[in-house]
């Protein structure tokens, strides 16, 4: 079951659209029932491993019932094939290896997604929020490691019995190890709820006053950006320069979008550093971005726009600030895939 959940989570991260198309409650129920029936069928031989036997005391006539292994349990072939090989493939080593591989892949996917998100959204670095995907990945890794720790003794006991022979099953140390391994299996199952509670999805907290007043740029950073932009020789033509990077077919669109980018850059630079005005420009970008035409622009052109703005305007001291500003602009516009549209009248009221 743990392997199924991990595989489903990996499928949701690696192929989100296909997962959404195939994901349904009926499908989940069918998979659960199939796993349950397969587990019951697989566990049938264990019902015949032990039997009750009468034991007579050595010096009295008293007798008591004890649990002793059956001939099936003492059969070397049964131990080798079922207890060791099949259990390692289907219960312990096999599932754990697959869970570990899938979990490592999920770590790379989530890490890459976070880096891309932070690269396109400067505000993500300020909010400090953890995605639900990352929490789920950490939770699954914790469950996988706990699974290995709590099941390794059972594997060791089965291998020990295989190497030492079936007669070891009546030894005191062997019985102690079996009881301890059974206890660890129970602990593994019982502690899952603690892990789920620790990494549960918490409801979003309402923004506090201190959070609402945060800005993307400090006043000192805003002053530096404004000063560099004002003193730069291309401060009046940067809009056209950037527009030519993403528009190559229509000169009229280059002119119109160049004016649009120029106006937005100047308005962004005049607004950064103060909470209220900065939030107003963000709302405006969201408003305009929602009205874009669905004209796809390749990702490499957006990267060219970002890099050109940084190289044209920044210095060594302010490079990271211009990168943040460029990401803010591109992120808002990419909500609509493109801003290839004639400027529309916009009222700030």
Residues 227 and 268 in one domain: yes
Which pLDDT value is given to residue 42? 92
Whether residue 214 sits in one domain with residue 104? no
**pLDDT for position 204:** 52
> 293: pLDDT confidence band, cut at 50, 70 and 90?
very low
Q: Is residue 41 predicted with pLDDT exceeding 90?
A: yes
Least confident of 78-82, 162-166, 202-206: 202-206
Answer yes or no: do 333 and 273 share one domain.
yes
What range does the domain containing 174 cover?
1-48+83-118+128-199
Q: Which comes out higher in pLDDT, residue 105 or 283? A: 105
Number of separate domains in the chain: 2
Q: What is the pTM of this model?
A: 0.47
| Residue from 85, 86, 95 nearest 143 by CA | 95
| Pair (98, 165) in one structural domain | yes
Same domain assignment for residues 133 and 227: no
| Within-domain flag for 110 | yes
Q: Which residues contact 289 (CB under 8 A, 6 or more apart)?
A: 332, 333, 334, 335, 336, 339
Q: Which of 199, 223, 251 is the last residue of a domain?
A: 199
Answer yes or no: do 14 and 159 share one domain: yes
CA end-to-end span of the chain: 56
Residues 310 and 254 reside in one and the same domain: yes
Query: Based on the domain organization, do 140 and 174 belong to the same domain?
Result: yes
Same domain for 151 and 223, yes or no, is: no
- As a whole-number percent, the residues of the chain with pLDDT over 90 amount to 3
Cβ atoms 342, 256 nearer than 8 A: yes
Is residue 156 in a domain?
yes
Higher-pLDDT residue of 59, 85: 85
Query: Mean of the per-residue pLDDT values for the chain?
Result: 72
253 and 320, same domain (yes or no):
yes
312 lies in some domain: yes
**286 within domain boundaries:** yes
Both 144 and 20 in one domain: the answer is yes
């Amino acid at each position: 079951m743990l392997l199924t959940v991990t595989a489903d989570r990996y499928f949701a991260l690696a192929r989100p659209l296909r997962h959404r198309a195939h994901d349904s409650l009926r499908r989940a129920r069918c998979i659960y029932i199939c796993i349950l029936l397969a587990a019951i069928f697989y566990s049938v031989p264990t019902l015949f491993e032990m039997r009750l036997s009468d034991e007579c005391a050595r010096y009295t006539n008293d007798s008591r019932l004890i649990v002793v292994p059956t001939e099936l349990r003492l059969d070397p072939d049964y131990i080798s094939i079922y207890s060791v090989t099949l259990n390692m493939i289907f219960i312990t080593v096999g599932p754990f290896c697959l869970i570990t591989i899938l979990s490592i892949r999920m770590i790379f996917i989530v890490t890459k997604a976070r880096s891309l998100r932070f690269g396109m959204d400067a505000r993500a670095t300020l909010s400090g929020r953890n995605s639900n995907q990352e929490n789920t990945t950490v939770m699954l890794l914790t469950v996988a490691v706990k699974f290995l720790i709590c099941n390794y003794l059972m594997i060791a006991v089965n291998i020990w019995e295989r190497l030492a022979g079936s007669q070891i099953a009546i030894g005191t140390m062997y019985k102690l190890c079996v009881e301890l391994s059974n206890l660890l299996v129970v602990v593994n199952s019982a502690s899952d709820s603690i892990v789920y509670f620790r990494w549960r999805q918490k409801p979003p907290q309402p923004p506090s006053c201190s959070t609402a007043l945060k800005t993307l740029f400090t006043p000192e950073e805003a002053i530096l950006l404004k000063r560099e932009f004002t003193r730069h020789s291309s401060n009046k033509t940067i809009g056209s320069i950037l527009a030519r990077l993403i528009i190559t077919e229509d000169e009229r669109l280059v002119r119109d979008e160049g004016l649009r980018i120029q106006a937005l850059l100047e308005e962004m630079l005049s607004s950064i550093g103060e909470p209220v005005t900065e939030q107003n420009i963000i709302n405006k970008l969201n408003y305009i971005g929602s009205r874009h035409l669905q004209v796809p622009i390749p990702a490499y052109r957006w990267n060219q726009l970002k890099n050109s703005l940084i190289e044209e305007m920044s210095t060594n001291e302010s490079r990271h600030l211009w990168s943040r500003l460029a990401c803010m602009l591109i992120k808002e516009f990419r909500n609509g895939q493109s801003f290839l549209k004639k400027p529309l009248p916009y009222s700030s009221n």
